Homo-oligomer: A and B are copies of this chain.
Amino acid sequence: MSHKIIRSIRRADREPVKILGDSGVATVHEAQGRVGLMRPYMRPIYPTAKVAGTAVTISIAPGDNLMIHASIAVCQPGDILVVAPTSECTDGYFGELLGVSCQAHGIVGLIIDAGVRDTVELAAMNFPVWSKAVSSQGTVKNVPGDVNIPVVCAGALVNPGDVIVADADGVVVVARERAAEVASASQQRIAKEEKTRERLRKGELGLDFYGMRAKLKELGVEFVDEEAESSSAGR
């Protein structure tokens, strides 16, 4: 088992990354055809956390953060660390000191399918983290791993250089090659939703303007009046 740290990767362009970040996770996820979402157990450490950037991926042993330290050496400003342990782990791989180091190198956030600590300090520094757990459990620096290989993180495939968008609604991955296309589709979706919002605000039913009444009929769903007995379950 040899391990490697890949130095130079192709990254998605700045422009689409910016647009995707402004669009938000739910919109981007829809705009790219509902793929690339991480599992919903990935939660931000503070409610206003919001970020977009390019992935530097880290495949790491349970309970060992050596490779996070190593990864910083190959990062560029605008990168986001994406950490995937090789088996389930909740340890606090990352804390305030690593956050300071990341910010010194322009790294804009952390996605970790494990634990994080010093959450109050990281929030105060405005360094956003999405994690599976908050845990003070320390890690060692004895076990090898890899940087910038494809990883599966919280159920989503991430290639180095892919775009990561994360906010209160979760974390989504956009393939580097699709970044521009998905950014454009996100903008279109936002424009379209603005019109829908107006109609809904006025009280129009989605049922009507999405044409769902026909669909209901086709599926055999009928509007009926209350059946006195069977719809009331006593206790």
Contact = CB atoms under 8 A, between A and B. Distances in A.
A220 B144 contact: yes
Chain A contact residues: helix, strand, loop or mixed: loop
Which of A7, A73, A202, A235 is the most central at the interface, judged by chain B CB atoms within 10 Å of its CB? A235
A72 interface: yes
A15 interface: no
A49 to B, nearest CB: 10
A206 B105 CA distance: 12
Contacts of A207: 69-70, 72-73
Nearest to A144: B219
A176 to B, nearest CB: 8
A84 to B, nearest CB: 9
Contact of A40 (B40, B118, B135, B143): B135
Contact of A231 (B29, B231, B234): B234
Contact of A206 (B64, B98, B157, B168): B98
Given A70-B207, A229-B234, A156 B150 contact: no
A201 B233 contact: no
Nearest to A167: B120
Contact of A63 (B61, B138, B141): B61
A167 to B, nearest CB: 7
A141 B144 CA distance: 12
A226 B9 CA distance: 6
Interface of A: 1-10, 25-26, 29-30, 33-35, 37, 39-40, 43, 46-48, 61-64, 66-67, 69-70, 72-74, 86-92, 95-98, 100-101, 104-105, 115, 117-120, 133-138, 140-146, 148-150, 152, 155-157, 159-160, 167-170, 172, 175, 193, 196-197, 200-203, 205-207, 210, 212, 215-216, 219-227, 229-235
